[in-house]
Amino acid sequence: MPATEAVFRWLAPDARQVIYQRADFITLLGRHLFVVGVAALFTVSVGLLAGVAVTRQWGRDFLPLATQVASMGQTFPPVAVLALAVPALGFGTLPIIVALVLYGLLPIVRNTIAGLKDVDLATISSARGMGMTDGQILRQVELPLAAPVILAGVRTSITINIATAALGSTVGASNLGDPIIAGIINTNMAYVVQGALVIALLALSVDSFFEVLQRRLRSHTA
Please report, in tens digits, the pLDDT of each residue of the chain (222 residues total). Answer: 556 777 777 777 777 888 888 889 999 999 999 999 999 999 999 999 999 999 998 888 888 888 888 887 777 777 888 888 888 888 889 999 999 998 899 899 999 999 999 999 899 999 999 999 999 999 999 999 999 999 999 999 999 999 999 999 989 889 999 999 999 998 899 999 999 999 999 999 999 999 999 888 888 766
Question: What backbone phi and psi angles, to 5 degrees, belong to 58?
Answer: -80, -10
pLDDT of residue 57: 87
Contact yes or no for 42/101 (Cβ under 8 A): yes
Number of domains in the chain: 1
Give the global pTM: 0.88
Whether the Cβ atoms of residue 70 and residue 106 lie closer than 8 Å to each other: yes
Q: Specify the pLDDT at position 8.
A: 77
SS3 for 156-181, per residue? HHHHHHHHHHHHHHHHCCCCCHHHHH
Query: Which residue segment(s) compose the domain that 210 sits in?
Result: 2-221
At residue 221, the pLDDT reads 66
CATH code (residue 177):
1.10.3720.10
Q: With contact defined as beta carbons under 8 Å apart, do 137 and 183 qualify?
A: no
**Which residue stretches of the chain are H helix?**
5-11, 25-54, 63-75, 78-89, 93-117, 121-129, 134-137, 143-164, 177-185, 189-221
- The radius of gyration of the chain from alpha carbons, rounded to an integer in Å, stands at 21
Confidence (pLDDT) at 1: 53
